[in-house]
Structures are given as C-alpha cells and as structure tokens.
C-alpha cells in the first residue's frame, strides 16, 4: 500500500531539481529539496519508531503532507527547525522532539542566560544565578521574573516556548517552559531585557546578551541532605545525570542509615540515567523487586507484505536486586514529587510505588518515563522518539500487566499478546508515569504567600504509616 509521506521527497525533487544530501554541511543553509528530504525521513521514522503512533487522534500522513509547502518555504534554517519542532510537538510526547546542532556563527548558538528559574503557582522565580555581573545588578535567588522583552512572562512563554514544547501532560506543559535554564534560551547574541521584582517588592530591569560568563558555582547541588526534627532524613536529589552519582550517594548513605524515617525530594528532578535511579531504589529493599513489562513495536517486512497485524516485542526486565555489601534502609520512606519530576525520576516513582515502599506526596509528575531513540535526519538535525511503552509494577515484589485498547492505523489493527492482554501502544498509556504518576496530594499552596508545609507536617504524614 502506498502512503503520502513516501512521496514527499519525490515531489520536492521534481519541483526543485534535486541535490545530493550526503555531503551537505550542517552550517550551510538548507535548500528546499534538503528540507523536504529531512521532513520525509522524520515523518517516516515516526511511523516505525513512535510507540504511541496508533493512538494519534489525527492522520500523521496528512499532517506531514499538508505541512510540506510551509516547511519548504521557510526563509532560513532556524525558522525551518522551529517549524519541525512545532510539528513534532503535536505528537504529544515529552520524549519525542526535534533538536539541531549549533548552526551559523558561534555567537549565535542557542544559549540561556546563566540563571535558573522555576514557576511557583502563577509566578516565576530565580532559583540560581551563575554570573557575577547579574548578581551585582541585583539578580539573586528569590527574585521574581516579571517581564521578558516587554512581554509579561506568561505571554512570552505562550509565544516563544509552548508552541515547540514536547509534552505528554497538561502539568508538564504548564511548568516545563519555566524550569531550569529553559526560559531564557535563545541565540547567544540576542539581548534579553528582563524585568525583576526583588524580595522587597522593588522592580528593576537587566539587559544582557546570552553570551556571558558562567563564573559562579551552582547553588543547586545534585544532592543535599539534612536531618529534620524527629530524626527524619531529608534527601534532595535534583538530577540523575552526574557521572559520580553513585559515589556521591554512597558518601551520604551512612548518615541516611542513622535516621528513623526518610523523605526523598524528587521535585524538579528532570531525570537522567535510570541506572542511578535504580541504584537508590536498590538501597530501600532487602528483596528483589520485579519491574513492569515494556513493549516496543516490531516491523518484519515479509509480514507487512502479507498484511499481518502489527507485532510487538515485549519484555520484563531483570529484577532489581538489593545492593550487596551494605545494609538496606527499611524504615519508612516518602517521596516528594511535582509537575517537573520527569523521565528517570518518574521511573523511580513507578518502581517505588509498585514496591509499596511508601507514599508519593505532591502533585502529578511530568508524564514521560523516557528512553528515547535517536534519529539522525541529516544536516545536523535530529529527532528523539519514544520507542516503547512501560508496564507498571503495582504489587510488592510482583509486576502487573497494563492494558488499553488500540486503534487501527498504518495496518496496525487491534493486537493481543499471547497471554490475552491487549497491547498498550497508544495515548492510553500503559505506564501511570506516562500520564503523570498519581501521588498522595499534600496541599502545597498554589499561592506563594500561603504557608508552606513545615518539617513537622512531613513528620506527621510519615508517622501515619511508620507503624
């Protein structure tokens, strides 16, 4: 059967006269033919590598074909790449997106200002400043970001950030554009004019290009640990990215073992290496933990010629074994999460809840457990795509099967596995984390002026299941 996407490149070649794509440098401006080639390749790769393709509420082929004239006519590479990002954002998956190598002059490479930000309620605050000049001009942790380039900060995000955001859930869409260094990313040479409000309510403005030094250390370390009243440990893990993650955790673990209960704070943890998340989880059990089954679409050309149903590869990972040579932490544990707990941090939450190890406290997580496949479309343009669906372990020391109905698309009729459960290859996510891990909702204030829960509040919650 023929598909419209298969003809995107052919049409463009006939219209433009064609050029070879093999030797093109990513620094050179793309021709109309090259733009069509990249679009054709990306649209086809989605059909084979995007695990939720069958649950798309629209016809992907039609969208790609209708997008061709606009994409080919873009005036420059930056506009073209942004258009591709908007196209992929419609797939509705937090790990399926477009990115590109730095292009043009080095001064124009995409960079953020050296400051972290975070949305709290309906306001946006600075959480870390990495440049001494910004610090001298009054930008510090706790300052509110009020306006960017003459626009209210939410208006700026709505115009420049959300249209290209890869997102699986409303909560990730609402909070992700403001997280970490995302808010101010643009060409390094572009001058940003940002209006702030300091802690005393005084407003001031700073103008700066992005190409400035990162000459201050981070105020947001990967780990922090303290002991709250009642001998409750509070371990904050901001990322699962650092190469020395295991060593840093091991250095703290002796102190953790001395506590009577533990709070693990994964708020704003955007993920990283799932093996590091598993490493922490393996310290919280004295028995092997089964993990949820995952599945990924398979394609066998001969089976396609016989018009056979879509096939799926399914696998249950090896059990997570307790770490050898150290005492496990078997006292009560609670995990704090929010809308920007994401990717491998959500993997941790899924395993933690499946093991019935303790409470998840906070708001629903970002909704995308990750493990994307990298697609090289040529000319320095790449895509990541979610190639598998994740099952959820919902009982202690056992994994559960998740199921949802699939739809027909690209010769992908409803398919059942050998054990009779329906495959979970669509927007009806098989993993709770892919729609945001549900948590015990502690009443965190939406209004920053309201009282924030105290350490005693957490202790009270922990005491409800400690015994």
Strands (E), 79-231: 97-100, 110-111, 115-120, 123-129, 144-148, 151-152, 186-187, 191-197, 203-209, 223-228
pLDDT given at position 311? 86
Asked if residue 214 lies in contact with residue 114, where contact means CB atoms within 8 angstroms, the answer is yes
Asked if residue 90 lies in contact with residue 98, where contact means CB atoms within 8 angstroms, the answer is no
Helix (H) or strand (E) holding 64: helix 60-72
User: What sign for the dihedral angle of Cα 306, 307, 308, 311?
Assistant: positive
Strands (E), 325-446: 333-337, 358-362, 373-378, 381-385, 389-390
Virtual torsion, Cα 86, 88, 185, 380, nearest 10 deg: -110
CA 310, CA 50: separation in Å to the nearest integer? 13
Full pLDDT tens readout for the chain, 467 residues: 444 444 444 444 444 444 444 334 445 689 999 999 999 999 999 998 999 998 899 999 999 999 999 999 999 999 999 999 999 999 999 999 999 988 878 888 899 999 999 999 999 999 999 999 999 999 999 999 999 999 999 999 999 999 999 999 999 999 999 999 999 999 999 999 999 999 999 999 999 999 999 999 988 889 999 999 999 999 999 999 989 999 999 999 999 999 999 999 999 999 999 999 999 999 999 999 988 788 888 888 888 888 888 888 888 888 999 999 999 999 999 999 999 999 999 999 999 998 999 999 999 999 886 678 899 999 999 999 988 887 543 322 222 222 222 222 333 322 222 222 222 222 223 334 445 554 444 333 333 343 444 445 555 555 443 33
DSSP tag of 139: -
pLDDT digits (tens, 9 = 90+) for 91-121: 999 999 999 988 878 888 899 999 999 999 9
Identify the bridge partners of residue 237 per DSSP, sorted by sequence position. 223
CA 283, CA 278: separation in Å to the nearest integer? 9
List, in order of start, the domains of the chain with CATH numbers.
Answer: 4-102 (no CATH), 108-209 (2.30.42.10), 223-374+384-466 (3.90.226.10)
């Amino acid at each position: 059967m023929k598909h419209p996407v298969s003809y995107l490149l052919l049409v463009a070649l006939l219209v433009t006269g064609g050029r070879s794509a093999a030797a093109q440098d990513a620094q050179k401006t793309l021709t109309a033919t090259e733009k069509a080639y990249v679009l054709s390749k990306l649209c086809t790769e989605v059909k084979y590598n995007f695990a939720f393709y069958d649950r798309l509420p629209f016809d992907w082929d039609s969208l790609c074909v209708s997008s061709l004239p606009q994409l080919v006519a873009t005036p420059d590479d930056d506009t073209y790449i942004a258009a591709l990002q908007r196209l992929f954002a419609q797939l509705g998956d937090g790990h399926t997106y477009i990115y590109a190598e730095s292009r043009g002059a080095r001064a124009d490479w995409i960079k953020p200002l050296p400051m972290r930000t975070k949305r709290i309620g309906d306001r946006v605050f600075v959480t870390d400043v990495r440049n001494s000049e910004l610090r001298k001009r009054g930008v510090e942790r706790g300052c509110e970001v009020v306006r960017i380039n003459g626009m209210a900060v939410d208006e700026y995000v709505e115009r420049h950030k959300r249209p290209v955001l890869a997102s699986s859930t409303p909560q990730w869409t609402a909070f992700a554009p403001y997280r970490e260094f995302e808010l101010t990313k643009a060409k390094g040479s572009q001058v940003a004019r940002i209006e702030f409000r300091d802690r005393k309510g005084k407003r001031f403005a700073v103008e700066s290009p992005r190409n400035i030094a990162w000459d201050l250390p981070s105020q947001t370390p990967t780990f922090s640990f303290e002991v709250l009243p009642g001998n409750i440990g509070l371990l904050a893990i901001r990322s699962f990215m650092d190469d020395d993650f295991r060593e840093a955790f091991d250095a703290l673990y002796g102190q953790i073992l001395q506590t009577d209960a533990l709070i693990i704070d994964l708020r704003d943890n955007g993920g990283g290496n799932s093996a590091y998340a598993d490493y922490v989880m393996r310290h919280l059990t004295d028995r092997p933990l089964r993990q949820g089954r995952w599945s990924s679409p398979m394609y066998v050309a001969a089976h396609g010629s016989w018009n056979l149903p879509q096939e799926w590869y399914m696998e249950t990972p090896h059990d997570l074994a307790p770490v050898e040579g150290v005492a496990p932490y078997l006292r009560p544990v609670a995990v704090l999460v929010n809308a920007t707990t994401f990717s491998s941090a959500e993997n941790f939450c899924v395993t933690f809840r499946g093991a019935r190890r303790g409470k998840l406290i906070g708001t629903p997580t970002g909704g995308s457990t990750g493990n994307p496949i990298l697609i090289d479309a040529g000319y320095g343009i790449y895509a990541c795509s979610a190639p598998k669906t994740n099952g959820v372990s919902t009982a202690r020391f056992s994994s559960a099967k998740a199921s949802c109905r699939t739809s027909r698309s690209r010769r992908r009729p409803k398919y059942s596995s050998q054990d009779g459960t329906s495959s979970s290859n669509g927007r009806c996510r098989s993993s709770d984390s892919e729609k945001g891990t549900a948590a015990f909702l502690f009443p965190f204030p939406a209004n920053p002026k309201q009282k924030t829960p105290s350490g005693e509040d957490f202790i009270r919650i922990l005491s409800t299941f400690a015994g």
